[in-house]
Amino acid sequence: MGAHPHGADAAGKVELAQVFARHGAAYLATHRLAAVQQRALRAIQVCRTAALGGHVERCDACGQLRYSYHSCRNRHCPKCQALAKERWLAARQAELLPVPYFHVVFTLPHSLNALAQGNPRVIYRLLFEAAARTLLEFGENPRWLGGELGVTMVLHTWGQTLSQHLHVHALVSGGALAPKGHWIHPRGGFLFPVKALSQVFRGKFTAGLKHAFDSGALVLAGSTAALAEARERVALFAALRAQPWVVYAKRPFAGPDQVLQYLGRYTHRIALTNNRLVSFDEESVRFHYKDYTHGNRRKVMALDAHEFIRRYLTHVLPRGFMRIRHYGLLGNRAKRHKLGAARAALDAPSPERVPTAPETLEAFWLRVAHRDIHQCPHCASGPLRRIGVLLPRAHGPPR
């Protein structure tokens, strides 16, 4: 998997795996990483290479051989998200209601970044809980709706330059199911006032954070060690309460197709995809980013290779942490019953039954790319048949 002199492969493409292969060992030797970060770095480096093994196929028509290697399936790998995303979207399609949906974003102040780095599971959980409870309470309030919303949330921890930017994207039903069973539509296409959402969100998060401090749930070390002192915590909370917290709401989507497009963009997105990489060398990595402060202009950033890896690994989630969560009508406990009641209130037909078996890789490529992965790409006529297994090994395909 050698790199081109300019940091690209023979086809001119740069991959995160190449960056990790070139610089990963040196980074591991000089940095202390959590086990989940080590697993992600190593998995991405060997994804779809001979190191993971695979199989060899031969075309019945022209005799061409094709070597196929296994995927790492790590959720932070840029090569392993497409099929997972499509399978997830297929399941979500049956849960959409025939109502507008709103996109609301809740963002934490950057002053909490250091605390989150040492306590990601606690801070991320508090972010989900505060944002979800804020939305559900506004939905239950008769001043706004007076019923139960359907909410899907996805956690993002990054900005365009791989810096830490902690926020959740929420997809919120335009309306709510009333306790008496009818559907309550928002007034004039308006959901909730963002300033009021911001204030309640801030209050709920800071209350949860105080409880985390008081119960000893937070690890305080390095740059956060001073927060073990009561006066430092008082100063932190005073600063958090003094600043406005960012809550952003977009106009509602036009229909279910737009909702699914939104979900596809946000749910399985990772910190940086391969198509944003420009080049790398022995010292640095260059990648595209959008400069939101200057009209979303597309620019190129160069980072020291170790700083690039550090930033990327900052966004590796704790093991088993669910970055997509559902609330209200979509909560797992009574989702089927509540969605059925919502459809009845909206006089909407039941969705087509979703197959219980997940979509196969073959069916996925045929549907999305109109490509039969069993057809020979060389002659485009003969079928490929598996003729052998490739055991995991340290180097490329057998000669």
Measure Cα distances from 80 to 11, 63, 218, 319 in Å.
Answer: 20, 29, 33, 17
Name, in order, each residue with C-beta under 8 angstroms of 248's C-beta and a sequence gap of 6 or more.
104, 105, 107, 194
Per-residue confidence (pLDDT) for residue 7, from 0 to 100:
45
> 253 and 262 in contact (C-beta within 8 Å)?
yes
Amino acid in the structure at residue 230: A
Query: Can you give the length of the chain in residues?
Result: 399
Mean pLDDT by runs of 10 across the 399 residues of the chain is 40 87 96 96 94 93 91 92 76 86 95 96 98 98 97 95 96 95 90 96 98 97 96 97 93 76 79 95 97 89 98 97 96 91 94 62 63 83 91 57
What is the three-class DSSP state of 52?
helix
> 152 and 97 in contact (C-beta within 8 Å)?
no
Backbone angles phi and psi of 148, in degrees to 5: -105, 125
Task: Quote the CA–CA distance of 7 and 318 in Å, as a whole number.
Answer: 30
> What is the CA angle 277-288-309, rounded to 5?
55
Task: Quote the CA–CA distance of 85 and 302 in Å, as a whole number.
Answer: 30
Task: Quote the CA–CA distance of 262 and 148 in Å, as a whole number.
Answer: 22
What is the three-class DSSP state of 61?
coil
Task: Quote the CA–CA distance of 145 and 183 in Å, as a whole number.
Answer: 10
Task: Quote the CA–CA distance of 126 and 47 in Å, as a whole number.
Answer: 33
Nearest to 16 by CA among 316, 274, 281, 301: 274
Task: Quote the CA–CA distance of 377 and 236 in Å, as a whole number.
Answer: 60
User: Pairing relation of β-strands 65-69 and 284-291?
Assistant: unpaired
> 168 and 106 in contact (C-beta within 8 Å)?
yes
Per-residue confidence (pLDDT) for residue 367, from 0 to 100:
64
Per-residue confidence (pLDDT) for residue 8, from 0 to 100:
47
This prediction has a pTM of 0.89
Task: Quote the CA–CA distance of 395 and 287 in Å, as a whole number.
Answer: 28
> What is the 3-class SS of 331-377, one letter each residue?
CCCCHHHHHHHHHHHCCCCCCCCCCCCCCCHHHHHHHHHCCCCCECC
Domain ranges (residues) in the chain: 95-271+315-345
| N-term to C-term CA, the chain | 15
Per-residue confidence (pLDDT) for residue 159, from 0 to 100:
95
Beta strand spans in 161-296 (E): 164-173, 176-177, 183-184, 247-249, 277-280, 284-291
Task: Quote the CA–CA distance of 16 and 285 in Å, as a whole number.
Answer: 10
Nearest to 106 by CA among 314, 249, 203, 204: 249
Name, in order, each residue with C-beta under 8 angstroms of 315's C-beta and a sequence gap of 6 or more.
76, 157, 158, 162, 164, 270, 271
Task: Quote the CA–CA distance of 399 and 384 in Å, as a whole number.
Answer: 19
The encoded tokens of residue 144 equal: 């706004």
